[in-house]
A = this chain, B = another copy of it.
Amino acid sequence: MSGSDTASDDTSVGATSDGPPRALPLHGVVVVDLGQIYLGPYATFLMAKAGATVIKVEPPAGEPARRRSTVGRGASLPFCMLNANKRCVTINLKTERGRDLLLRLVRRADVLIENFAPGVLDRLGVGWPVLRAMNPRLIYASGTGFGLSGPDREQLAMDLTIQAASGAMSVTGFADGGPLKSGVAFADIISGVHLYGAVVTALFDRERSGQGRLVEVAMLEAVFPTLASNLGMLYSSGGKGAARTGNRHGGLSVAPYNVYSCADGHVALICQLESHWRGLTDAMGRPDLATDSRFSDNARRVANMDETDAVVAAWTATKSRKQLAELSVEYKFICSPVRELPEVVNDRHMHERGMLEWIDHPELGRVVLPGSPLRFHGSMREPAIPSESLGASNTAIFGEMLELDREELSRLAAEGVI
């Protein structure tokens, strides 16, 4: 049982806390993690937090996200976030003995995960066919920009270029401006969690079939489903295109749906159901708007979107963010302040739920780290263990797990193998 010093998740409705806490669900699963930057590391972060033993394998110079620290300390924060609760070792896969070390780890592993460009491990002689022959129960997980097959397979990719290639950028921003990326790295993270899902699905399958598999996620494909509303608009337009709609609904089929100025900032507000609109108009003291023929159902409000936005905006301008948030709970419409990051990292709600933790990180000092968004009731949450320094677990993993003696470890280090 891990994480036994944290509170059990027994505060929420229907928690299963009537017995002793159960082990985290991936307890005992061993993951060899060749992930780098965000995609692979996020997938294995979720595994570590779900109880797996994650051995993060980096080249002796560190993976690119670790090396970003040369730009400034803040650039290290993402690395620390996504690599908490892992064991860090170094292996130079360009050496014969390095590859041998990897093979020895893989023999003892359930999962190998990598997000190199397609074919990188094959060219090093440690691709899926080789690893599988050695360990038929292995789940081999590949995360790439465009996938392991298809005409665009060789195209390199990062979050930014996938936002461009997927069409997401073409529908972000305003109609009179240029294409714009989402300010957050959602393409990387959404791909990482898809890869997590693929791996765990294959682990479930292995319990029944006894066999491992190759599983694969392409970033381009993982982003596609986020276009749902925009594709609706494309369809409506006869396939000609979808507009950038600013803060309005991507399919322009819900109203009100926008960001509105208020007395001390902005709020996002939406009426998904007619009951939300009735709640909003009651909160405004304008129940007449709920039966006004311009606004009496969503189809009419969509047809009169500018007017709908205008009546909402005139009202929000008179209230504070806090007042609007409280009114939305009382009157049951959907509204949130547009929060800045300092508010988010200090969010009382996420701290109370154990999603955010203040920790003292040996390199960064006092920082907020997130836990896993996957909450398994009945088990304790895994508290944050700061990301390790480069190769910090070489002795523990190569020594204890692979039974190399101290002398051999020194020789491997001296020869640049680890």
How far is the CB of A47 from the nearest CB of chain B, in Å?
A: 9
**Chain B residues positioned under 8 Å from A227 (CB to CB):** 184, 341, 344
Is A374's CB under 8 angstroms from B194's CB?
yes
Is A20's CB within 8 Å of the partner chain B?
A: no
Is A70's CB within 8 Å of the partner chain B?
A: yes
Is A312's CB within 8 Å of the partner chain B?
A: no
One of B12, B122, B236 near A73 (C-beta < 8 A): B236
User: Considering the complex, which residues of chain A in the window 2-28 have a beta carbon less than 8 Å from any beta carbon of chain B?
Assistant: 9, 11-16, 22-23, 25-26
**Closest chain B residue to A42, Cβ basis:** B225
Is A170's CB under 8 angstroms from B340's CB?
yes
One of B74, B253, B370, B374 near A215 (C-beta < 8 A): B374
Is A228's CB within 8 Å of the partner chain B?
A: yes
How far is the CB of A37 from the nearest CB of chain B, in Å?
A: 7
Most interface-central of A64, A132, A231, A234 (chain B CB within 10 A): A231
Is A189's CB under 8 angstroms from B225's CB?
yes
Is B179's CB under 8 angstroms from A350's CB?
no
One of B74, B82, B154, B198 near A236 (C-beta < 8 A): B74
**Chain B residues positioned under 8 Å from A166 (CB to CB):** 339, 344
Is A148's CB within 8 Å of the partner chain B?
A: yes
Is A165's CB under 8 angstroms from B339's CB?
yes
Most interface-central of A81, A181, A251 (chain B CB within 10 A): A181
Is B193's CB under 8 angstroms from A272's CB?
no
Is A150's CB within 8 Å of the partner chain B?
A: yes
Is B215's CB under 8 angstroms from A247's CB?
no
Is A336's CB under 8 angstroms from B218's CB?
no
Is A342's CB within 8 Å of the partner chain B?
A: yes
One of B180, B217, B233, B376 near A213 (C-beta < 8 A): B376
User: Considering the complex, which residues of chain A in the window 233-280 have a beta carbon less than 8 Å from any beta carbon of chain B?
Assistant: 233-237, 239-242, 244-247, 249-251, 253-254, 257, 259, 266-270, 272-273, 276
User: How many angstroms from the CA of A11 to the CA of B204 in the assembled complex?
Assistant: 25
Is A364's CB under 8 angstroms from B189's CB?
no
Stretch from A91-99, A327-335, A391-399, A405-413 contacting the other chain: A327-335
Q: Do A189 and B226 contact each other (CB < 8 Å), given the known contacts A172-B182, A235-B77?
A: yes
**Chain B residues positioned under 8 Å from A68 (CB to CB):** 253-254, 298
**Chain B residues positioned under 8 Å from A336 (CB to CB):** 155, 157, 161-162, 164-165
Is A46's CB within 8 Å of the partner chain B?
A: yes
Instruction: Kindly supply a per-residue 1/0 record for chain A positions 303-343, scoring 1 wherever the CB is within 8 Å of any chain B CB and 0 otherwise.
Output: 00000000000000000000001001100111111111111
Is A156's CB under 8 angstroms from B334's CB?
yes
**Chain B residues positioned under 8 Å from A287 (CB to CB):** none
How far is the CB of A148 from the nearest CB of chain B, in Å?
A: 4
**Chain B residues positioned under 8 Å from A194 (CB to CB):** 193, 373-374
**Closest chain B residue to A334, Cβ basis:** B156
How far is the CB of A79 from the nearest CB of chain B, in Å?
A: 9
Q: Do A349 and B151 contact each other (CB < 8 Å), given the known contacts A173-B173, A197-B196?
A: yes
